[in-house]
């Protein structure tokens, strides 16, 4: 038995020595050093996660680490779950970095920062005091910002990093304020988590609501919840491949961790409206983000919006759990909580794989625009299969690793019946509709990403020149694909962890049984079961049966051959005639025109002789982030206007500044006296 502080120290040691090693070794091997160091940090995280789940990490206090307050560490099974997920993503992303960075895509500074980022993410769930949490939260934010800036020479990267920096710092301020209000209620202003937990009962309803809303905003912005998501679809795609994977599959989970830790475990269980707020925010996030993903044409931006969407679904599940727990239906609340956790793990698996495959495509072809990709299935078969597995998971279809989580969520909503009277009877069907619409549009987004990006024929020179990625990247993707496959058919592998995590959560199994995740996934108390493994076997058997049926008459059949495409007799097909991602998504864009509000520029130039003879037709369309346009631009304009006003007072004259000082002092004195 060791202490959590010891373990945090090991993590810090491994990541810092990794960073030092990257800085010291020759440039030639710096990529390998960074990748292996990150993977080592990930392995340490996995070990720590296993220890934490088993309950083998004692809480501890380290006085010297943070001035005045000291640092406090503890690990329960909830921390352990997040350690395991982040550790696993770090291992895969680290291995991938070895090959990815050897291509010359990463400088030495980002390579050195990478293991530190992974280490900081792994320490966050171990923090057991406000200061400790905030310290490592900020280290995580800063290191990830440096990694986003890895390709700082490009204008979009700098813009994305600026947006990320502003949002992450505002989020930090919100968390800080929320936790300060919380800690102020604790006896002697103690700031360790056990003290906060005891203090929660003494908190009045007003401050309690303030803490909930502030921490939800702060942690929610990290998880990419609408309307605080605007940085995510900019920063995640602009980061290098493995960093995108780490941010989108590991860092966003810490936003969920914050909500679970502070709002559920420490502050909760809360009143019903907390659950309803979570439900509403999650539903808005899920539908809005999946719509944006369905019309996105940038492969990595599409994946980033899908991250936001899945965090929204997890939030819906947590909200449902909170509402049901408040309404006295603990068994169904446990189903919803399980749905959130299963989906979190599944999302981490398929999103890692998706971003690694997309990173490989971007590295090889130099393109992220789906309208310029295509035809990658032949030159990059392994990457194509990897992305296909990830897309199947992201679409939430059976045989994919996102299915069980979404299935549990729909089941929890179905059995939420008669739990809380009229309001719930109105809210729950809406939530079902939102989840269903999200899945449907998610399928459309993923068919587009895979079908347009990887199948058909290349639409640009970059896509034409594509070749398969190096062996280490393939190995990393293979690891990711295996995890996806295992989670898809055998969710039972999560049972040893979840059976320890769920009793710790107020909406978990503390007050009743949870769903059984065996070969047959069953629900407590109500009917309803599904078996991903047996369903996969059944589909396999069905496919074999269909193959056998297709052999009927094959003996009298002439030999199979290949031939040119028929194309309705047209012939001479060029890639300009193919459907692109934009045209593929056009019907959906039209259906949701009111929400997406695309800008369309349609220019038709006719010959002078006749308006019916056209010389040139050009068509361009952009889909902006509507939330950003409607919500952020006015605020930014107001800030800029205020700054201009303030600038007018800055005349540069020392006399004016002295007068301001005197006036300020006078006002202060008048107010105080």
Partner 1 sequence: MLSVSGVAGMVTQVVGVAAGAPLLVGWMRQVRARLEGRAGPGPAQPWRDLRKQLHKQNITPDGTTVVFAAAPVVLAGTSLVIAAIVPGVTTGSPLDRVGDLFAVVGVLLLGTVALALAGLDTGTAFGGMGASRVVTIAALVEPTILVAGVALSVPAHSSNLGRIVATTAADPGLVASPAAALAFAALAVVVVAETGRLPVDNPATHLELTMVHEAMILEYTGPRLALIEWAAAMRLTVLLTLLVNLFVPWGVAGAGAGPAGLLVGLGAVAFKVAALGTALAAAEVFLAKLRLFRVPELLAGSFLLGLLAATTSYFLTGPAG
Shortest gap between Cβ of 227 and partner 1 (angstroms)? 23
Please tell me the distance from the alpha carbon of residue 164 to that of residue 585, in angstroms, as a whole number.
28
Which residue in this structure is represented by tokens 């393939």?
474
Task: Determine if 183 is a binding residue for partner 1 (CB under 8 A).
Answer: no
C-alpha distances out from residue 112 to 23, 122, 136, Å:
6, 17, 18
Among positions 24, 173, 471, 544, the unique one binding partner 1 when judged by CB under 8 A: 544
Residues 6+ apart with CB under 8 A from 51: 2, 7, 57, 75, 80
Among 539, 640, 663, 668, binds partner 1 (CB under 8 A): 539
Find the binder of partner 1 among 173, 430, 614, 663 (CB under 8 A). Answer: 430
532 neighbors 488 (Cβ within 8 angstroms): yes
Answer yes or no whether residue 374 interacts with partner 1 by CB under 8 A.
yes
Q: Which stretch binds partner 1 (CB under 8 A): 466-474, 476-484, 554-562, 602-610?
A: 554-562
> Looking at 24, 159, 184, 417, which residue binds partner 1 (CB under 8 A)?
417
Helices 155-184 and 130-148, interaxial angle, to 10°?
Answer: 180
Which part of the chain contacts partner 1 (CB under 8 A), choosing from 45-53, 104-112, 317-325, 442-450? 442-450
- Interacting positions 79-138 with partner 1 (CB under 8 A): none
**Counting contacts by CB under 8 A, is residue 342 touching partner 1?**
no
# residues near partner 1 by CB under 8 A:
97
For partner 1, the closer CB: 50 or 535: 535
Contacts (CB under 8 A) with partner 1, residues 568-627? 568, 573, 575, 577-579, 583-588, 590-591
**Long-range contacts from 152-159, C-beta under 8 angstroms, 24+ separation:** 154/238, 156/234, 156/238, 157/238, 159/234
CB of 345 to partner 1, least distance (A): 19
By beta-carbon proximity to partner 1, the closer residue of 227 and 346 is 346
What is the nearest approach in angstroms of partner 1 to the Cβ of residue 318? 20
- Applying the rule CB under 8 A, the residues between 444 and 473 that interact with partner 1 are 444, 447-448, 450-452, 455-457
Please name the residue that has the structure tokens 């039972």.
492
| Under rule CB under 8 A, residue 61 binds partner 1 | no
Q: By C-alpha distance, which of 167, 623, 93 is closest to 359?
A: 93
Least distance between partner 1 and beta carbon 437 (Å): 4
Mask 495-534, x = binds partner 1 (CB under 8 A)? -------------------------x----xxxxxxx--x
Site string for partner 1, 128-167 (x = CB under 8 A): ----------------------------------------
What is the 3-class SS of 163-231, one letter each residue? HHHHHHHHHHHHHHHHHHHHHHCCHHHCCEHHHHHHHHHHCCHHHHHHHHHHHHHHHHHHHCCCCCCCC
Regarding 398 and contact with partner 1 (CB under 8 A), the answer is yes
- Comparing CA positions, the residue from 574, 365, 379, 363 lying closest to residue 462 is 365
Q: How far is the CB of 529 from partner 1 (least distance, A)?
A: 5
Q: What's the N-to-C CA distance of the chain in angstroms?
A: 59
Q: Cα separations (Å) of 648 from 432, 637, 656? A: 54, 17, 12
Burial class (CB in 10 A: 0-12, 13-18, 19+), 646: exposed
The residue (of 287 and 348) whose beta carbon lies closer to partner 1 is 287
Taking each helix axis from N to C end, the angle separating 272-295 and 299-326, rounded to the nearest 10 degrees, works out to 160
Q: What are phi and psi of 530, to 5 degrees?
A: -150, 150
Task: Identify residues 292-311 at the interface with partner 1 (CB under 8 A).
Answer: 294
* 269 prior amide bond cis, ω within 30: yes
Closer Cβ to partner 1, 340 or 395, answer by number: 395
* Least distance in angstroms from the C-beta of 365 to partner 1: 17
Minimum CB separation from partner 1 for residue 552, in Å?
5
Residue in 153, 557, 602, 648 binding partner 1, rule: CB under 8 A: 557
> Side-chain half-sphere of 434: how many Cα atoms within 13 Å?
28
Shortest distance, position 413 Cβ to partner 1, whole Å:
7
């Amino acid at each position: 038995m060791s202490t959590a502080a010891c373990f945090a120290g090991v993590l810090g040691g491994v990541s810092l020595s990794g960073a030092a090693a990257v800085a010291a070794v020759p440039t030639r091997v710096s990529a390998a050093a960074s990748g292996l160091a990150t993977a080592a940090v990930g392995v340490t995280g996995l070990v720590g996660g296993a220890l934490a789940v088993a309950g083998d990490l004692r809480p501890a206090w380290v006085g010297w680490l943070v001035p005045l307050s000291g640092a406090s560490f503890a690990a329960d099974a909830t921390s352990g779950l997040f350690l395991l997920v982040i550790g696993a993503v770090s291992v895969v992303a680290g291995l991938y970095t070895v090959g990815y960075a050897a291509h010359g895509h990463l400088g030495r500074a980002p390579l050195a920062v990478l293991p530190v980022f992974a280490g900081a993410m792994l320490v966050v769930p171990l923090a057991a005091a406000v200061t400790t949490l905030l310290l490592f939260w900020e280290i995580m934010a800063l290191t990830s910002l440096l990694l986003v800036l890895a390709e700082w020479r490009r204008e979009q990267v700098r813009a994305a990093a600026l947006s990320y920096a502003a949002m992450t710092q505002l989020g930090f301020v919100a968390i800080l304020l929320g936790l300060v209000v919380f800690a102020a209620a604790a006896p002697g202003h103690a700031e360790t988590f056990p003290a906060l937990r005891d203090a929660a009962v003494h908190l009045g309803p007003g401050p309690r609501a303030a803490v909930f809303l502030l921490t939800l905003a702060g942690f929610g912005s990290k998880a990419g919840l609408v309307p605080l998501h605007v940085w995510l679809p900019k920063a995640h795609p602009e980061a290098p491949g493995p960093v995108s994977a780490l941010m989108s599959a590991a860092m966003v989970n810490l936003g969920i961790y914050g909500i679970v830790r502070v709002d559920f475990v420490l502050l909760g269980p809360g009143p019903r409206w907390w659950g309803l707020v979570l439900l509403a925010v999650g539903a808005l996030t899920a539908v809005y983000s999946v719509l944006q993903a369905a019309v996105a044409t940038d492969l990595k931006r599409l994946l980033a919006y899908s991250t936001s969407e899945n965090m929204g679904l997890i939030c819906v599940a947590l909200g449902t759990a909170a509402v049901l727990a408040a309404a006295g239906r603990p068994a169904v609340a446990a189903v919803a909580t399980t749905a959130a956790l299963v989906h979190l793990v599944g999302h981490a698996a398929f999103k890692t794989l998706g971003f690694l495959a997309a990173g490989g495509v971007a590295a090889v072809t130099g393109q992220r625009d789906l309208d310029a990709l295509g035809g990658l299935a032949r030159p990059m078969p392994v990457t194509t299969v990897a992305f296909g597995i990830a897309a199947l998971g992201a679409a939430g279809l059976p045989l994919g690793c996102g299915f069980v989580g979404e299935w549990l969520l729909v089941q929890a909503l179905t059995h939420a019946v008669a739990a809380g009277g009229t309001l719930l009877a109105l809210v729950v069907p809406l939530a079902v509709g939102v989840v269903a619409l999200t899945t449907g549009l998610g399928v459309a987004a993923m068919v587009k990403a895979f079908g347009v990006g990887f199948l058909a024929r290349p639409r640009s020179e970059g896509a034409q020149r594509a070749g398969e990625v190096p062996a280490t990247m393939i190995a990393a993707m293979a690891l990711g694909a295996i995890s996806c496959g295992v989670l898809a058919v055998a969710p039972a592998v999560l049972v040893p962890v979840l059976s320890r995590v769920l009793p710790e959560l107020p909406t978990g199994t503390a007050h009743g049984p949870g769903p059984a995740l065996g070969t047959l996934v069953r629900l407590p108390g109500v009917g309803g079961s599904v078996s991903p493994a047996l369903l996969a076997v059944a589909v396999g058997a069905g496919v074999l049966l269909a193959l056998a049926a297709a052999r009927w008459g094959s003996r009298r059949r002439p030999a199979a051959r290949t031939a040119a495409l028929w194309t309705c007799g047209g012939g001479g097909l060029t890639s300009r005639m193919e459907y692109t991602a934009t045209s593929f998504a056009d019907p959906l864009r039209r259906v949701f025109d009111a929400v997406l509000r695309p800008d369309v520029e349609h220019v038709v130039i006719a010959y002078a002789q006749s308006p019916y003879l056209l010389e040139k037709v050009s068509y361009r369309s952009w889909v902006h982030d509507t939330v950003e346009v409607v919500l952020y631009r006015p605020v930014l304009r107001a800030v800029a206007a205020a700054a201009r006003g303030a600038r007018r007072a800055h005349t540069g004259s020392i006399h004016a500044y002295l007068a301001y000082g005197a006036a300020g002092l006078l006002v202060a004195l008048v107010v105080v006296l």
